Amino acid sequence: MTIEMAGNFTREMKSLPHVLDLVENFFAKAKLQKDDRYPIELAVEEVFTNFVEHNSSGSDGISIRIRRDGGLVSIVLTDYDAPLFDVTKDAPQPPINAPLADREPGGLGLHLVRKMMDTIVYKHENGAGTVLLSKSVG
Amino acid sequence: MFEITEGPNRELILAGRFDASQAEKAKTVFLGLKEGKTVDFSRLDYISSAGLGVLLAAQKRLSEKGQSLRLINVSSHIRDVFHYSGFDQIFEIA
């Protein structure tokens, strides 16, 4: 059984509730278990906000496609006006073992995505950046 | 939906989804704290890195006064997020 949903969003933080509505609707339609939902929701939010924050003055929108094929959920997020920024290696590793005095807010989003997804692939072609994520589900 | 309310023992109760769209609202509460607080996560469904950033900023600010946030009733998913972030080393999680 394959379930797929997709949406196009404007490049602004105000779009985030609409992005998460798409994800919630997908969860219901794809009958995802509660335990499988958190990492997927988090990954979509973190990649979307990363796209917005790294190019807030960009002109084109951001698309999201999310799909369940049996025990695998795959997500494709595409920023149609993206500078080259490889989310798999360009984001610095946050100092997670540093004491409180040496920690600063920020820099955790993509780290969490890398921790919580099974695979993450980045592509940059014709000015568009695409992040492909996958996660096994029960 | 995301709400921050004060409980009967002056603890802060978080409810709903603490995502990037709610971070500014939460900042006004957390960065306005004058003293350490217990924060009850029992009704919190979700937190993303934006929410973690607000908690970290508050913890740093309070630590300058020798105070801190103490987190209670944290779900297993949110505990995982705290662990991956190293926050289990800088917050007391009861």
What does the domain layout of chain B look like in residue ranges? 2-93
**Domain B2-93 sits in which CATH superfamily?**
STAS domain (3.30.750.24)
Interface predicted TM-score (ipTM) of this complex, two decimals: 0.93
| Residue in B20, B80, B85 closest to A13 by CB | B20
- Specify the pLDDT at position A57: 81
pLDDT class for A55, splitting at 50, 70, 90? confident
Q: Give the model's pLDDT for residue A102.
A: 96
Task: Identify which of B87, B33, B4, B24 has the alpha carbon closest to the alpha carbon of residue A14.
Answer: B24
Neighbours of A3 (CB within 10 A): 14
Report how far residue B13's alpha carbon sits from residue A107's, in angstroms, rounded to the nearest whole number. 26
Query: Hey, are the CB atoms on A100 and B63 less than 8 Å from each other?
Result: yes
Distance from CA of A13 to the nearest CA of B (A): 7
What residues make up the domain containing A19? 2-136
- The model's pLDDT over B36-58, given as tens digits with 9 standing for 90+, comes to 999 999 999 999 999 999 999 99
Window 40-79 of B, Cβ < 8 Å to A:
46, 48-50, 52-54, 56-57, 59-60, 63, 77
What letter would DSSP give residue A81? T
Contacts of A95 (CB under 8 A, 6+ apart): A102, A103, B86
> b/e per residue, B2-19, with b = 16+ CB within 10 A?
bebeeeeeeebbbbebbb
Chain A hits for B17, Cβ within 8 Å: 20
Give the number of domains in chain A.
Answer: 1
Residue A76's CATH number: 3.30.565.10
Least confident of A87-91, A108-112, B30-34: A87-91
Residues 6+ apart with CB under 8 A from B44: B14, B15, B16, B18, B75, B78
The beta-carbon neighbor of B21 closest among A13, A96, A97 is: A13
CA A77 to CA A65: how far, in whole Å?
7
Instruction: Give the global pTM.
Output: 0.95
